[in-house]
Amino acid sequence: MYPAPFHYSAPTTIDEAVTLLASLGDEGRVLAGGQSLLPMMKLRLAAPAHLVDINGVGGLSDITVNGHLHIGALVRHADIVDNDIVSAASPLVAATAKWVADPLVRNRGTVCGSIAHCDPEGDWNSVMLAVGAEVVARGPDGERTIPIGEFVVDFFTNSLRPGEMVTAVRVPTADAHTGGSYLKLERKIGDYATVGVATHLRLGEDGRIAQAGIGLTSVGSKNIKATDAEAGLVGNEPSAELFAAAAATAAAAADPVSDIRGPADYKRSVVQSYVARGLTEALNQIRGN
Ligand SMILES: Cc1cc2nc3c(=O)[nH]c(=O)nc-3n(C[C@H](O)[C@H](O)[C@H](O)COP(=O)(O)OP(=O)(O)OC[C@H]3O[C@@H](n4cnc5c(N)ncnc54)[C@H](O)[C@@H]3O)c2cc1C
């Protein structure tokens, strides 16, 4: 099917894009990699009146480290795979990229587009929720940073204001006290997750857990931050029993539906197994096992 008719603009600066988006209001939509938006337009699930293509906007393809890992809005999933800067700054982000879709989609689709899209089956927002990333947005009133937990509102819904676009995502950098993993169950390579689980741990000098993050994919109307499970970990010494308790709490926070990828109970039990396994992997990374 062909998309509904639309207007198209290709600004070359962020200011130009933001001015255009502000003037268009609900009629305007950012086009980044087009890997989610264009299929939705062809299926007539989306019919934006005006596409604002940001692919010609300068300064959005940067991957830099300056207190945090900065991933610009035009960084493609493929740019993250085997990227030395990302591997050093956030091994978890580096390891996740290869789980997103297939090489063709990874070559065009952007990390920030995926974050903005807020598809509960998308992989990136679970990782960003686990590590506590921030989204950088620019709009008619200037720039602001939005904690990822506030950015992800619900099913395909983010908290951008009219006229705003995402310019980057900022990820806290990892160190020797940090570990994390992204575990994804998929029916075949390139498929969306049946279940995905991101885990992140930071140990304090006393060996206790100083920071814990758990993000869940494909088990709710949005990517879920398992806050109760995280809170149960912080301040405690890591152990198999502690991880098992956190896994049970995270599974209780999941709200999967039965579909072609499996029954809800099965998905919830995968969450439980993957949280325990992911936390163990994160701990092993920190301990060098
Ligand atoms: C066959 C196939 C398999 C896939 N498998 C997976 C998978 O396994 N895991 C996964 O996570 N994803 C998967 N995807 C989705 C893919 O990761 C997309 O790249 C991603 O969801 C959207 O990124 P994009 O740059 O293509 O955004 P677009 O399609 O251009 O835009 C998507 C939405 O985000 C908005 N948007 C984009 N960029 C910005 C911005 N800078 N500021 C504000 N709004 C913005 C757009 O307006 C639109 O509403 C798959 C896609 C396909 C086609």
Q: Are residues 164 and 139 in contact, defined by beta-carbon separation less than 8 angstroms?
A: yes
Q: Evaluate: CB of 33 within 6 angstroms of ligand 1.
A: yes
Tokens of 38: 């264009």
Quick: pLDDT tens for 236-285. 999 999 999 999 999 999 999 999 999 999 999 999 999 999 999 999 99
Question: Is the sign of the CA dihedral 203, 205, 208, 211 positive or negative?
Answer: negative
Tokens of 193: 């997750």
Q: Facing residues of 213 across strands? A: 200
Q: What count of residues does the chain have?
A: 289
Ligand 1 atom closest to residue 36's alpha carbon, by position in its atom list: 29
Quick: pLDDT tens for 16-75. 999 999 999 999 999 999 999 999 999 999 999 999 999 999 999 999 999 999 999 999
Rounded to two decimals, the pTM is: 0.97
Q: Evaluate: CB of 248 within 6 angstroms of ligand 1.
A: no
Q: Are residues 132 and 172 in contact, defined by beta-carbon separation less than 8 angstroms?
A: yes
Ligand 1 pocket test: pick from 114, 151, 159 the residue with the most ligand atoms within 8 Å of its Cβ: 114
Ligand 1 pocket test: pick from 31, 54, 75, 105 the residue with the most ligand atoms within 8 Å of its Cβ: 105
